[in-house]
Amino acid sequence: MNLFHHQAINLSRNGLTRRSFLHAVSASAIAAGTLSFRDVISLRADELRKQGMSMILLYMQGGPSQFETFDPKPGLDTGGPTKAITTATPGIEIAEGWSNIAQQMKDVALIRSLNNKEGNHQRALYQMHTGYVPSGSVKHPSLGSAIAKEIGDPAQDLPAVVSVGRTVGAGFLGVDYEPFAVQNPGQIPQNVTPLIESSRFNRRLGVLNELEQDFAERGGETVVANHQRLYEKTRKLVQSPQVKTFDLASEPQALRDRYGDTQFGKGCLLARRLVEAGVTFVEVTLGNWDTHDDNFNRCKTLSEQCDPGFAALVADLKDRGRLDKTLVLWVGEFGRTPRINPRTGRDHYPRVFNAAIAGGGVKGGQVIGASTKDGMAVERDPVSVADLFTTVCKSLQVDPRKENMSPIGRPLKIVDGGQPVEKLFG
Amino acid sequence: MSRISRQFVALIAVALILALGATLNVTGPSAFAEDSVSKSPQVAANSPKPAADHEIAGILPAPLPTRDVSDRIDALIDADLKAGKITPASRTTDEDFLRRVTFDLAGTTPEPNVVSLFGLDPDAAKRSKTIDRLLESADYARNWSQYWREVLYSRATDPRSRISQKQFETWMEQNFAENRGWNKIATDLLTATGDVQETGATALFFAHQGDPEEVASEASRIFLGIQIQCAACHDHPTDKWKREQFHELAAFFPRVALRRDQNAGPLSFRVVSIDAGPGAGRFGEPGAIAREPEKFIKQVDKNNDSKITLDEVRNDQGRRLFTALMERADANKDGALTAAELKAMPIPEQQGRGSLEHYMPNLEDPGDRGKKMDPAFFVSNVKANAGMKDMDRRELAAKLFTSTSNEWFAKAFVNRIWSEMLGEGFFMPIDDLGPERKPNSPEVLNLLSRQFAAHEYDIKWLFRTIANTHAYQRSVRAKLPTETAPTFAAAVPTRLRSDQLYDALTSVLGIGDLGGNRPPQRGAGAGQRVDNSPRGQFNALFGFDPSTPQDEITGTVPQVLFFMNSPLLQSLTRGTGQTRLARILQDFSNDDDALTELYLLVLSRQPSDKELKICHKFLGSAPNRQEGFEDLMWSLLNSSEFLTKR
């Protein structure tokens, strides 16, 4: 069974057809002797569909202002000087500075009725990554790690979860789902490239293996076995031809220009390359959204980095036929106050904020929920963090109620509570 | 933000009443004293036999010397092994012992010359003497302060608390250097107040923003090894603890708060008591003023005009707080508050949080504030009354936690240290104990914890006693098929903590710090402070929660990449220049000698004949001596043995 499983995953990743899948598994199916081809297909059909899915989280750290992104209130005190612009979808207007994403609006849905209670950066950031508020007794896995555990490809050379910038880790799910952090998108990550030629690298690994035997025999058996497994996993990454996925040089200059020559733009392009190569979950962080002062100028600068990258990512995924299988979510830990403070800033506001979501079966060109006219509260169709996470699970065909066991034996659902926003899939 | 303001309203009420000199009918109960329960009228021992505490305390054994206790432990373990027909592993070699005990007590690896001299020393008592020497070293205090930093901060629910790590470590280092009793350290941690950057003992409260439930959970887990937080929402699934008992424990901590100091820097916090007086009155809870505004006004209203103004408030503190109350409640901006205005004042969103009392949430009705809980200690069933001052509550909690009649306080610490040193504990995981769990070798645990209590929780005594047992000094070996539970028949290899590994690595490389070559990490954003020192960066990569079971600590790919490919290690392990390898190659032209030196340097032992053979063969096939040795040093640093205490 395990053998089937791995083959099924590999094949789907490589985009083989059902017919070639059948052909490829026939030998092992016969060897197993218990399942007919039809059984294998029906057992694995669901699995197969899931295996192609992936997610890109564009995380706006600091809490982006909804008024200066996708829920502008022009002409109102609370709206400030920010103007609204039209988009490719008639009737949907977003803040100025987002003209690229405006053009992609037919593929992007907006949620304007997100709401939460956490107004503290760290706690809200943790919650927006794990679905749970922090607790001393358990380190919750980030949603990306939980998803990778469900639908990731264990035979993959590249890590299942990659993060451009720091993020919340795999918690109690452990090392296999720990996000692999990339500091400088576009470059091969730190320490991945050996500084010696590969023949010498292999010689070193060879003598290391030989020398480990003595300790293994003296009682370090388990320690040595675990160590060797981890070294083998790392070696596979280091020597994998897929490492070149991290290098953006092979992409056409025109495309790189569309993403933008910024950390965030490069991160978005890297994210597209990684999901194509089989990575399940990629997070790209854009920081500095904590605009307690000079909100309007700072939001303008940030939109200049974010808008091209986000829009190019959606368009590029679509051009390459991967948008249906890739969920893209743009969100931060909370929104900003309707009141503009004396430093022309906006403060933390979890009561109503917004998100943008595209791909992964989401129907674009629509707005879910609304804030009140002055932006003080949710007007209709409130969406909680749990609702948002359940929606993500639905898109990726992951059961949100699946329980993982914490180290002290407490079962924890991937998402506790919440309902998917069905309209998104309409 | 809203939390602060809620607490603020509560504070305003209390302070106003103080400022007005209102007489309140609350007597602070005196602290629970083990030998004088009757002195504290408000603390009723709820157990059917109130004197039980003293009986147990009374039969604490006389303190025995280290040697006697070590011998008794070995006798108990030997009897168990004999009954189970298990032959214990042989006594460990001098080399392995020295490396093990140096890591355990001093947190680093012994220098090669120390290893050689130790082996040559004919003194039969050299192991005991080494234990004593290491316990007196500065490294001992540093090592264990680093350990406790990781225990406490790994589970912090407020990441900002990382800014106080250094202060906590310094404070713990003093405790260990002075060998203060574990009960005294625990008491300080439970009763601390003050500036978090000045008072290391505030760490527990800072790490959890003073949240009563988180503090109760962590205090129970760390000091008693009992995971009572499982009973926060329902009775404990596998133990006898009831939901009420968890919330009664949390009721010791509702009046501790974390306050931002507005006048100082952006990350200046203080841990404070929010009652600051003989007791909190009926208006000491958020929402209480709005519920009974007339009564509140009556208390303050000097001139009987049914309005209260700033002039009617007595002192500075009261005036400051009154001003804040005005901002929230004075709707018509006339500088006076009426009952109607107070009634209309925005009510705190989340009832219970920031309250002066702890409420057990009503699971049926989230809108309900829940049931007000009286503090009570689930282990000894001692109850106190709500209404007590913060410091009285916390001092009482500290007494109850650290009482010699509370077996779990000693057991949790003994279990943790034993497990850290031998690789396996009596209870596993090390912070999951309880009366309904079956420990391994219970007699050993009982003996050791009762003696630990009898020695007034003398931490060095405990280390010395464990390190002197034969059980601690056995060699590692593969598990026998019959050993399904820990038997302590052999040492179990464990992974070095990040600080230990850092010290071992810098010591092997002969450098003070792993400087340069690595780009500083970008901060995680608002409020989060990243320790960018070389050790801080190393800990960010290699750190783990020391309460994690050993088999879950498996290392990560970026850790391997660091040892495998980092330019920093590459340059520090070159066979040329000023590196330690270059010196070995210069000083020892004979390969056997050079290999022995290299093994002593990296692994604190001589190579076996088999290893020498492998190395010679490898050197023979290498392009030149220097490159061959570089590759061998790489292999030793990348070996599992280097990362492991064996």
pLDDT in tens, B329-371: 777 778 888 888 887 765 443 334 457 899 998 888 877 889 9
B118 versus B33: the higher-pLDDT residue is B118
B120-124, B212-216, B244-248, B297-301: which range is least confident on average? Answer: B297-301
DSSP one-letter code for A331: E
Indicate if the pLDDT at residue B524 is higher than 80. no
Other CB atoms closer than 10 Å to residue B59's CB: what's the count?
Answer: 9
Cα-based angle B202, B204, B210 (whole degrees, multiple of 5)? 85
DSSP one-letter code for A172: G
Indicate if the pLDDT at residue B527 is higher than 60. no
The CATH code for residues B4-24+269-344 is 1.10.238
Is A214–B2 a contact, with Cβ atoms under 8 angstroms apart?
no
Closest Cα of chain B to A335: distance in Å?
14
What is the reported pLDDT for A139? 85
Tell me the C-alpha distance between B308 and A278, whole Å. Answer: 69
Tell me the C-alpha distance between B156 and A218, whole Å. Answer: 38
Is A211–B564 a contact, with Cβ atoms under 8 angstroms apart?
no
Is B556–A219 a contact, with Cβ atoms under 8 angstroms apart?
no
Is B208–A410 a contact, with Cβ atoms under 8 angstroms apart?
no
Element (H, E) at A95: strand A93-95
For B279-301, the pLDDT digits (tens) are 334 454 545 676 678 888 888 88
Is A348–B158 a contact, with Cβ atoms under 8 angstroms apart?
no
Closest Cα of chain A to B314: distance in Å?
33
Contact A119, B1 (CB under 8 A): yes
Residues of A in contact with B214 (CB under 8 A): 135-136
Indicate if the pLDDT at residue B518 is higher than 80. no
Closest Cα of chain A to B21: distance in Å?
37
Q: Transcribe B598-626 into DSSP letters.
A: HHHHHHSSPPPHHHHHHHHHHHHHSSSHH
In a 3-state reduction of DSSP, which class is residue B70? Answer: helix
Beta bridge partners of B382: B45, B377
Is B526–A62 a contact, with Cβ atoms under 8 angstroms apart?
yes
Nearest CA in chain A to B608: A214
Is B522–A62 a contact, with Cβ atoms under 8 angstroms apart?
no
What is the reported pLDDT for A17? 38
Is A208–B614 a contact, with Cβ atoms under 8 angstroms apart?
no
Is B157–A135 a contact, with Cβ atoms under 8 angstroms apart?
yes
Is B557–A178 a contact, with Cβ atoms under 8 angstroms apart?
yes
Q: What is the average pLDDT across B373-401?
A: 95
Cα-based angle B70, B76, B78 (whole degrees, multiple of 5)? 100
In three state form, how does the secondary structure of B293-355 look?
A: HHHHHHHHCCCCCCCEEHHHCCCHHHHHHHHHHHHHHCCCCCCEECHHHHHHCCCCCCCCCCC
Nearest CA in chain A to B160: A122
What is the reported pLDDT for B346? 56
Q: What is the pLDDT along chain A (426 residues), one digit of tens a residue?
A: 233 333 333 333 333 334 444 444 444 444 545 455 555 555 555 555 556 899 999 999 999 999 999 999 999 999 999 999 999 999 999 999 999 999 999 999 999 999 999 888 888 999 999 999 888 778 899 999 999 999 998 888 999 999 998 888 898 887 789 899 998 999 999 999 999 999 999 999 999 999 999 999 988 988 999 899 899 989 999 999 999 999 999 999 999 999 999 999 999 999 999 999 999 999 999 999 999 999 999 999 999 999 999 999 999 999 999 999 999 999 999 999 999 998 899 999 999 999 999 999 999 999 999 999 999 999 999 999 999 999 999 999 999 999 998 877 789 999 999 999 999 997
Is A137–B217 a contact, with Cβ atoms under 8 angstroms apart?
yes
Nearest CB neighbour to B157, from listed A134, A290, A348:
A134
Closest Cα of chain A to B155: distance in Å?
5
Mutation for B interface: A115, A166, A190, A211, most B CBs within 10 A: A211
Nearest CB neighbour to B554, from listed A137, A200, A226:
A226
Nearest CA in chain B to A215: B641
For B476-508, the pLDDT digits (tens) are 988 777 777 888 999 999 999 999 999 999 999
Is A175–B548 a contact, with Cβ atoms under 8 angstroms apart?
no
Mutation for A interface: B223, B565, B574, B610, most A CBs within 10 A: B565
Indicate if the pLDDT at residue B391 is higher than 50. yes
Tell me the C-alpha distance between B114 and B351, whole Å. Answer: 62
Nearest CA in chain B to A138: B155
Residues of A in contact with B561 (CB under 8 A): 190-192, 234, 238
Domain spans, chain A: 1-51, 53-187+247-425, 192-240
Mutation for B interface: A59, A117, A121, A122, most B CBs within 10 A: A122
Nearest CB neighbour to A234, from listed B522, B564, B608:
B564
Is B639–A203 a contact, with Cβ atoms under 8 angstroms apart?
no
Residues of A in contact with B567 (CB under 8 A): 195
Beta bridge partners of A56: A282, A328
Tell me the C-alpha distance between A312 and A318, whole Å. Answer: 10
- Arch. (CATH architecture) of A53-187+247-425: 3-Layer(aba) Sandwich (3.40)
What is the reported pLDDT for B54? 36
Contact B57, B404 (CB under 8 A): yes
What is the reported pLDDT for B14? 42
| ipTM > 0.85, yes or no | no
What is the reported pLDDT for A222? 86
Is B157–A136 a contact, with Cβ atoms under 8 angstroms apart?
yes
B514 versus A128: the higher-pLDDT residue is A128
- pTM assigned to the model: 0.79
Is B557–A191 a contact, with Cβ atoms under 8 angstroms apart?
no
From residue B57, alpha-carbon distances to B34, B36, B249, B444 in Å are 9, 13, 22, 19
Is B1–A119 a contact, with Cβ atoms under 8 angstroms apart?
yes
Is B556–A231 a contact, with Cβ atoms under 8 angstroms apart?
no
Tokens 């009563």 sit at which residue?
Answer: B212
Nearest CA in chain A to B621: A203
Beta bridge partners of A332: A60
Closest Cα of chain A to B596: distance in Å?
14
Q: What is the average pLDDT across B436-449?
A: 94
Indicate if the pLDDT at residue B115 is higher than 50. yes
Residues of A in contact with B522 (CB under 8 A): 165-166, 183, 287
Nearest CB neighbour to B640, from listed A180, A196, A215:
A215
Mean pLDDT of chain B: 85
* C-alpha dihedral (B508, B513, B515, B521), degrees to nearest 10: 110
Q: Which of B22, B13, B24 is nearest to B292 (CA)?
A: B13
Contact A307, A97 (CB under 8 A): yes
Domain spans, chain B: 4-24+269-344, 498-518+530-645
Tell me the C-alpha distance between A40 and A23, whole Å. Answer: 12
Indicate if the pLDDT at residue B642 is higher than 50. yes
Residues of B in contact with A228 (CB under 8 A): 640
Contact B642, A208 (CB under 8 A): no
Size of interface A-B (CB pairs under 8 A): 191
Closest Cα of chain B to A351: distance in Å?
12
Residues of B in contact with A196 (CB under 8 A): 570
Tell me the C-alpha distance between A358 and B285, whole Å. Answer: 46
What is the reported pLDDT for B280? 39
Is A227–B555 a contact, with Cβ atoms under 8 angstroms apart?
yes
For B182-191, the pLDDT digits (tens) are 999 999 999 9
Q: What is the average pLDDT across B542-548?
A: 91
What is the reported pLDDT for B354? 58
Residues of A in contact with B222 (CB under 8 A): none
Q: Helices B165-177 and B138-153 sit at what angle, rounded to 10 degrees?
A: 140
Mutation for A interface: B238, B249, B560, most A CBs within 10 A: B560
Nearest CA in chain B to A290: B526
